[in-house]
Structure 1
Amino acid sequence: MSETVEIRNITAADYLDLRESMVSAYPDMAGSYWGEATIQRLIRLFPEGQIAVTVNGKVVGIALSIIVDYDKFGDNHTYEQITGYYTFNTHNPKGDILYGIEVFVHPDFRGRRLARRLYDARKTLCEQLNLEGIVAGGRIPNYEKYAERMSPREYIEKVQDKEIYDPTLTFQFSNDFTVKKILKNYLPNDEASKGFATLLQWFNIYYEKDSDTIRYNKSTVRIGLVQWQMRDYGGLESFMQQVEFFIDAVSDYGSDFVVFPELFNAPLMAEFNQLDPAGAIRGMAKYTETIRDRFLELAVSYNVNIISGSMPIVMDEVLHNISYLCRRDGTWEQYIKIHPTPGEVYAWGMKGGSEIKVFDTDCGKIGIQICYDVEFPEPSRILAEQGMQILFVPFMTDTQHAYNRVRFCAQARAIENECYVAIAGCVGNLPKVNNMDLQYAQSCVFTPSDFNFPVTGIKAESTPNTEMVVVADVDLVLLKELHAFGSVQTMRDIRHDLYKVVKK
């Protein structure tokens, strides 16, 4: 005979089936089943939190929950305290935690993954209600067999390492719960657990603390990359007209970010060709702050966050390669290239910066690295550990070999740091500008490599060596899912016990 399995909310009419299943589920806790009045009270208080699994219409398992303001209880509480001594007056619809107060499946129906269905339904409810997570006290019913030779902590560690099987705790671990604390006298009458319990927690990766406010971080972010054509613009105003043209075009597509390449303002160096290379680039640096200010005006007027490519700047007599984040709210921050290339050091005397930081935006946390920087994995890892979701890499390369170094390293950064990486470069040539003869580029948006992303790890890419824009959407929620449920989880599985990357 075929079986029909259904997950639904409990009704008052389910009580007899529920009681029969509970008595069978807890033979070592006789008389501890839920009373009919108690179940009806829970249904009245929080109907969507009381979940049943049925087989051919018969209730064979349940998951009961309430919502609590967890700070009022903290980690040191008993079952009686969290349930208001079974009155459930602790239930608070405006709380932040879904608290699991019961889960069981009739023993005749175990082995069919019905409990997993109950847990999945509870997780879905937590996400729908935008709660921070699920907390529950968990029994450790096999502990009585080991209590004389090991502490509860040792027992839990061995269950986690799969050296010992515990029917409750092993299941909790397999459902992504972590042990937050060991509780004493949580259920004093639970002789099998010797009165101990685990305080278990599951985090809702979709939780948004400020979801009820107007200003919130977007989940889908649109990125516009400008593949910039090097040409003679005849001066700053003509140059800025071309800049505004691209910002206007990308803004029309509703982009959240527009990204320009490294040293894309090099055409302005033609004015200083009579100088040696170091003098010429220092001459061009006099335009940098003016261009930054114009970018800031354009960011506000076109409602788009701008990664300003990079430009030379002289600070305290030292030449740097600087990029600006010009936010659409009128604020800005800067990033200085950490690793000048040997050519930049030799020809221009350029020095590297010393700051590695993540920038907050209205579309999540971002990082900026300039060209050669992305070929060093350590700074990107530090940014990822600070929560970076998108890494922007303005670059300029003269040959395909140089371009491939940037491209392959950028794609590696996306995979190992579980983030998006967007690279934007210059194309064409500048025959009248010394040291800026040729450029080669193919601008791209790279993704991690897992089932929710393109099989190539490439979200979008331009036609090589052609002036154009690339517009692509990236989903930040997919990153959260990757961190929690990916086939491999490179950020989580780092061997911090063996090595670490530390900024001095």
Structure 2
Amino acid sequence: MYKCEFFVYEKDKPFSVCIRPYKENDFDGLIEIQSECFPPPFQSDLWWNKEQLASHVKLFPEGALCVSVDGELAGSLTGLRVNFDPAHPDHTWEEITDNGYIRNHHPEGNSLYIVDISVRPKYRKLGLGKLLMQSMYHVVIDKGIDRLVGGSRMPGYHKVSNSISPQQYLEKVMSGELRDPVVSFLLRCGRMPVAVVKDYLEDEESCHYAVIMEWKNPFKNEGAPGNGI
């Protein structure tokens, strides 16, 4: 089972970090982190509940990772395996994640789909989100999965939605003209846009849009036998 221990630095101060699968005794802390990461207007009923977390641990423990800093739970990243066709990217978060319960997890699915990533605000300067994402890339490689994919919120879009389309907003973020807290972060993690989708999630800040973004397994050859949809 995946476990990685190392140090990160903020200026010259070291912090001890551990990334590992989360377990039942982490559930209260993970829900607390969700409340810190997704305050109003984000809907509180979209935070994790213990039944969802238990399902993650049972169905795909390799896709249920958490990170601690000096022993304090600091964030999590959750995924499931699905069959995803980039040529037909339209879907909602509820559909592809089974409303966060991942009971539709496909053990042989060609894609590892990111359900959620959350890092306590006070620890975000340490780069933990990127480290969690890189850990999930390790899972993709280890299991020979074609890609990691997921929907990115566009929380900065509501500020300019009266003047530009969601696609134009994405293009401006990619060119560096605008910065989006989530899309820009995922670009720095190596994720690439596949498509903008409408009504992905009840998310006023994103005007209910999302960008489907992927990271392709560099050890899989496109078009090779067994690498198709």
TMscore range, shorter length? 0.7 to 0.9
TM-score, normalisation: structure 1: 0.40
Q: Which of 108, 111, 114 is the aligned partner of 2:125?
A: 111
Listed as ranges, the matches of 1:80-229 within 5 Å are 80-187=94-201, 189-207=202-220, 210=225
Aligned to 1:315: none
SS where residue 144 of structure 1 aligns? helix
Counterpart of 1:193, as a letter, is S
* TM-fit CA distance, 1:35: 0.1
Counterpart of 1:18, as a letter, is L
The aligned length equals 211
Aligned to 1:46: 60
* TM-fit CA distance, 1:89: 2.4
Q: Which sections of structure 1, spanning at least 5 residues, go unmatched? A: 213-504
Per-residue CA deviations over 1:84-120 (Å, capped at 9, x if unaligned) read 2344222111111000010111111111111111010
Relative to structure 1, the CA distance from residue 201 to residue 2 in structure 2 (aligned partners, 3 Å threshold; closer, same or farther) is closer
Q: Distance in 2 between matches of 1:210 and 1:87?
A: 32
Relative to structure 1, the CA distance from residue 17 to residue 121 in structure 2 (aligned partners, 3 Å threshold; closer, same or farther) is same
Counterpart of 1:39, as a letter, is L
Instruction: Report if the CA contact (8 A) 1:23-1:30 is conserved.
Output: no
Please say which structure displays the higher CA radius of gyration: 1
* TM-fit CA distance, 1:2: 5.3
Q: Distance in 1 between matches of 2:113 and 2:211?
A: 14
SS where residue 115 of structure 1 aligns? helix
SS where residue 4 of structure 1 aligns? strand
- Cα RMSD (Å): 1.9
Per-residue CA deviations over 1:312-338 (Å, capped at 9, x if unaligned) read xxxxxxxxxxxxxxxxxxxxxxxxxxx
TM-score, normalisation: structure 2: 0.87
Identity over aligned residues, as a percent?
A: 28
Aligned to 1:5: 17
* TM-fit CA distance, 1:71: 4.4
SS where residue 48 of structure 1 aligns? helix
Instruction: Report if the CA contact (8 A) 2:56-2:101 is conserved.
Output: no
Per-residue CA deviations over 1:286-339 (Å, capped at 9, x if unaligned) read xxxxxxxxxxxxxxxxxxxxxxxxxxxxxxxxxxxxxxxxxxxxxxxxxxxxxx
Q: Distance in 2 between matches of 1:158 and 1:138?
A: 16
Q: Distance in 2 between matches of 1:73 and 1:82?
A: 16
Per-residue CA deviations over 1:196-221 (Å, capped at 9, x if unaligned) read 00011110011265579xxxxxxxxx
Q: Which sections of structure 2, spanning at least 5 residues, go unmatched? A: 1-12
Counterpart of 2:102, as a letter, is F
SS where residue 59 of structure 1 aligns? strand
Question: Does 1:17 find its partner at 2:32?
Answer: no
SS where residue 214 of structure 2 aligns? strand
Counterpart of 1:35, as a letter, is N
